[in-house]
Amino acid sequence: MKALAVEQIGAWERNGFLKVENFVDADELAGIRGIMEGLVEQDPPHGNTLIDIDPALADRTDIPRTEKFRALMHAAHASRELLETYTLRPRTLDVVEDLIGPDIVYYTDQTFLKPPGGSGAPAHQDNAYWDVFWSGKGKLSVWLALDDSTMERGCTQFVPGSHRQVLQHDRDFSKDALFGGAVPDLDPDQLDFEVVELKAGDACIHHCEIIHRSGPNVSDHSRRGLVTIYFSGRCTYTDQPSEWFPHRMIPARGHVYPGCVGWYEG
């Protein structure tokens, strides 16, 4: 173990998610916020970044276009500063290594901006998106709060222990679905969700198959969160990534293996 206590790893294995307070300090947080604000202001975003307009705000004429963004993808592929100072920093990778092992590949990131009035996300498992292209269980997300993430602002909610069961998802490519959302056939009212509120600078790390959702932002403040996704270097390719994933994965620590993520010929 490099960063987490035995009790924390036990909670992760039992629940499928783990809250880590003060994951970044005040200076690191300010730097990440500045990078993300700069990328959002580059409308259209830089390089291979992608944006998603919140359907709840799309028709409003009283706010700028950039305040309608609900998500931005691939920030660390557009910002070397973000990649070097946060995505690949030892503190981040030490925590990831304690959970998925020493061979780590950075896949991508999503910044959920969730402005005031922004919509929530239905209950789902992330691996429904990813297992189409990459197989293997060693995948996780590090959800870093750039603002306080409260119930009123639409914080993330998890079903403890639900990472042990894979659900069938119906893929939804409607304009309202976040990046082609995948929604399982389940009744969320029958599930026991745990609300996870975060202070700015805290992180919540979650398993690729934990059922989670978020509510709408009914406050007057944004709820920004940078979600960085890491795969074990033992995960393998099952298909070619879609146009939403135009970049190469970046080996972050340890080894890469032929036929596995992060391995490229030539």
If residue 10 lies in a helix (H) or strand (E), which one and from where to where? helix 6-15
The pLDDT assigned to 181 comes to 55
Between vectors from CA 118 to CA 157 and to CA 154, what angle results, nearest 5°? 20
If you average pLDDT over residues 15-28, what whole number do you get? 98
Q: Report d(CA 245, CA 247) in Å as an integer.
A: 6
> For position 129, which CATH number holds?
2.60.120.620
The answer to whether residue 261 is domain-embedded is: no
The answer to whether residue 259 is domain-embedded is: no
If you average pLDDT over residues 53-79, what whole number do you get? 82
The answer to whether residue 37 is domain-embedded is: yes
More confident residue, 82 or 121: 82
User: For residue 175, is pLDDT > 60?
Assistant: no
More confident residue, 147 or 51: 147
The answer to whether residue 266 is domain-embedded is: no
pTM for this prediction: 0.90
If residue 31 lies in a helix (H) or strand (E), which one and from where to where? helix 26-41
If you average pLDDT over residues 213-239, what whole number do you get? 93
The pLDDT assigned to 173 comes to 47
Length of the chain: 266
Q: Report d(CA 211, CA 159) in Å as an integer.
A: 6
More confident residue, 194 or 184: 194
Q: How confident is the model at residue 183 (pLDDT cuts 50, 70, 90)?
A: low
Helix, strand or coil, per DSSP, at residue 35: helix
What number of helices (H) and strands (E) belong to the chain? Answer: 6, 16
How many independent structural domains does the chain possess?
1
User: For residue 265, is pLDDT > 90?
Assistant: no
Angle, nearest 10°, between helix axes 6-15 and 90-100? 60
Strands 104-112 and 250-253: antiparallel
The answer to whether residue 264 is domain-embedded is: no
Residues 6+ apart with CB under 8 A from 78: 39, 45, 46, 47, 48, 49
The answer to whether residue 95 is domain-embedded is: yes
Q: Following CA atoms 130, 202, 91, 9 in sequence, which dihedral angle do they give, to the nearest 10 degrees?
A: -70
Q: Report d(CA 4, CA 66) in Å as an integer.
A: 37
The answer to whether residue 176 is domain-embedded is: yes
* CA dihedral for 262, 201, 179, 80, sign (positive or negative): negative
Q: Of the ranges 136-150, 171-185, 233-247, which one carries the lowest mean pLDDT score? A: 171-185
Q: Dump pLDDT digits (tens) for 232-246.
A: 999 998 766 555 566
The answer to whether residue 258 is domain-embedded is: no
If you average pLDDT over residues 113-136, what whole number do you get? 83
Q: Determine the structural domain holding residue 168 and report its residue range.
A: 6-253
Query: Taking the CA atoms of the chain, what radius of gyration do you get in angstroms?
Result: 17
If you average pLDDT over residues 196-220, what whole number do you get? 97
Distances (CA, A) of 254 to 3, 136, 150: 16, 17, 36
Tell me the average pLDDT of the chain.
Answer: 87
The pLDDT assigned to 42 comes to 81
